[in-house]
Structure 1
Amino acid sequence: MDTASLADLAVDIAREAGDLARRRREEGVAIAATKSAIADIVTEADREVELLIRARLDAARPGDGFLGEESGAERSGAEITWVVDPIDGTVNYAYGSPHYAVSIAAVTGEPDARTWTALVGVVHQPVTGETFHAVRGEGAWLGDRRLHVGEVGEAGGLVATGFGYDPATHAGDLARVAAVMPLARDLRRAGAASLDLAYVAAGRLDGYFERGLHPWDHAAGGLLVEEAGGVVTGAPDGRPGREMTVAAGAVLHARIVEALGL
């Protein structure tokens, strides 16, 4: 398996997709639909960017599997499946906040986060132009700088989280924040899971936890954290999932897991 070629392809496509997303944002955003809740939106740009990514992948690697936030799963039986979030942080994007990203991962096997193994992960932030990438066994990188998770001192860790779109989940989300805050120097809630995970890998955050993530939210960013020396687990079954995702360096990760009762 030539993982370096997979990574180069993912980086090139993510940057092209990011350029398209940025141009469409400058032209003005059209809301196409809502998803799980009225606050959970999808823009026309989400769909257009995913179509571009899929077309480029089909041209370069016909027959590979695909799992996209906007178009769902295509089970091909191929060795590689691409897991794509075309614009992670759509609400930020719609409001003009620069904190959004294109996330692309290449995983082995069927598009099932409970069983796959991520080989390549790329998170590209169009506004800053930063491209985080990781290859299994070869580290996590921002350009030519190798990334390492941070070490937490006596003041505690800088921790990020997120909240669900359904108001019925907010009380539980706030209770989890209260449980983790004694471990934290401070809390961040920026609204793009892939970037939160990339920032943990880069040491810009010390830890991250969130309930309700989909596979495309954590596929690329989770590998970034692991290859930067961190730990990524969750629930159900100890894997990142809908019930919980936790990412941090080993010491803080263990403390967050204990605080959350996982």
Structure 2
Amino acid sequence: MGGPTTSAPTTSAPAPAELLEIGLRVAAEAAELITVERRSAVSVADTKTSATDVVTRVDRASEELIRSRLLEARPDDGFLGEEGGNDTGTSGVRWVVDPIDGTVNFLYGLPRYAVSVAAEVDGEAVAGVVWDVPSGVRFYATLGGGAFRDGEPIGVREPTPLAHRLVITGFSYRPEVRTIQAQAIARLLPIVRDIRRIGSAALDICHVAEGSADAYVEEGLNPWDHAAAGLVAREAGARTLLTTGAGGGMTLMVCAPEHGFDEFLATVTELGFLAGPTS
């Protein structure tokens, strides 16, 4: 008689709510670290794409903290962080982290910066947290579970004509790209209600999600800029598109309520924000 047969253990993807709970916990700890460090003098530790694209010691400390806490909770997960962390992992889960989104605001003491933590399963964001550090406001969502601000459901604004829409944008740190972006913004400004430039892509996108802005468009985003906030926006009733920007072949994001997305996309395409036709 043959012996008992065995099979390799099977693992299933963790529930999005479980990943969200971890994300909220580590984002809270990072926000506390950033708040404490902001009471001391903050200076530039390094630059990245240009002399104006800065990194502070606190960016690095925040990412190190988040990475270590995630590793403690889920040691087999992957990790992608703005300040250089990049682990493949073996679980099918990857954390995408911006330790301080809005570093220039943080450096100058302007109260518009956030911690962004997203969990992806097989490449799709399933849980995301954007923690507005100065205010303590938390935006978060799970795939199929809706979007929330401090426990209250949020949703996009009601339909409104293009001329009455408030649009948020941002600018690249590369001077040659900024020139092209500024020209496109100058063409958009006369045909919308107004333009805002806040300085944190994650918070910008969450403002569309909560209905405090009508649309967002910006070139130069990386996965850590939009992974968490994009999920929040989609769960709140927005549509997002990642495509190629006209300025330098970098990723451009368009985000707007589902009901007004097509018109807004057509407008920014016509005005020269995009490199070419979208797919």
TM bracket, shorter-chain basis: over 0.9
1:112 corresponding residue in structure 2: none
Range moving further from structure 2, 250-259 or 18-27? 250-259
Alignment of 1:60-209 (within 5 A): 60-109=73-122, 116-154=123-161, 155-209=163-217
Q: Is the 8 A contact 1:157 1:183 kept in 2?
A: no
Deviation at 1:183, TM superposition (A): 4.5
Range moving further from structure 2, 195-204 or 154-163? 154-163
Distance 1:236 1:163 in 2: 15
Q: Kindly provide the amino acid, as one letter, of the partner of residue 95 in structure 1.
A: Y
Deviation at 1:74, TM superposition (A): 1.1
The 3 A distance-change label for structure 1 pair 142 and 242 is same
Deviation at 1:228, TM superposition (A): 0.1
Say if 2:40 is the partner of 1:32: no
Q: Is the 8 A contact 1:179 1:259 kept in 2?
A: no
Unaligned runs of 5+ residues in structure 2 are: 1-13, 270-276
Q: Is the 8 A contact 1:67 1:83 kept in 2?
A: yes
1:250 corresponding residue in structure 2: 258
Larger radius of gyration: 2
2:63 corresponding residue in structure 1: 50
Deviation at 1:204, TM superposition (A): 1.0
TM-score by length of 1: 0.92
Deviation at 1:12, TM superposition (A): 1.2
Deviation track 1:13-60 (CA, whole Å, cap 9, x = no partner) reads 111101111111111213110000000000000000000001110011
Deviation at 1:182, TM superposition (A): 4.6
Partner SS state of residue 27, structure 1: coil
Distance 2:251 2:183 in 1: 14
TM-score by length of 2: 0.87
Partner SS state of residue 193, structure 2: strand
Distance 1:37 1:88 in 2: 17
Deviation at 1:176, TM superposition (A): 2.1
The 3 A distance-change label for structure 1 pair 252 and 175 is farther
Unaligned runs of 5+ residues in structure 1 are: 110-115
Q: Kindly provide the amino acid, as one letter, of the partner of residue 124 in structure 2.
A: T
Range moving further from structure 2, 99-108 or 251-260? 251-260
RMSD: 1.6
Distance 2:250 2:43 in 1: 28
- 4+ long deviations beyond 3 Å: none
Q: Is the 8 A contact 1:81 1:106 kept in 2?
A: yes
Range moving further from structure 2, 186-195 or 167-176? 167-176
Distance 2:237 2:95 in 1: 24
Task: Give aligned pairs, total.
Answer: 253
Q: Kindly provide the amino acid, as one letter, of the partner of residue 223 in structure 1.
A: L
Q: Is the 8 A contact 2:155 2:210 kept in 1?
A: yes
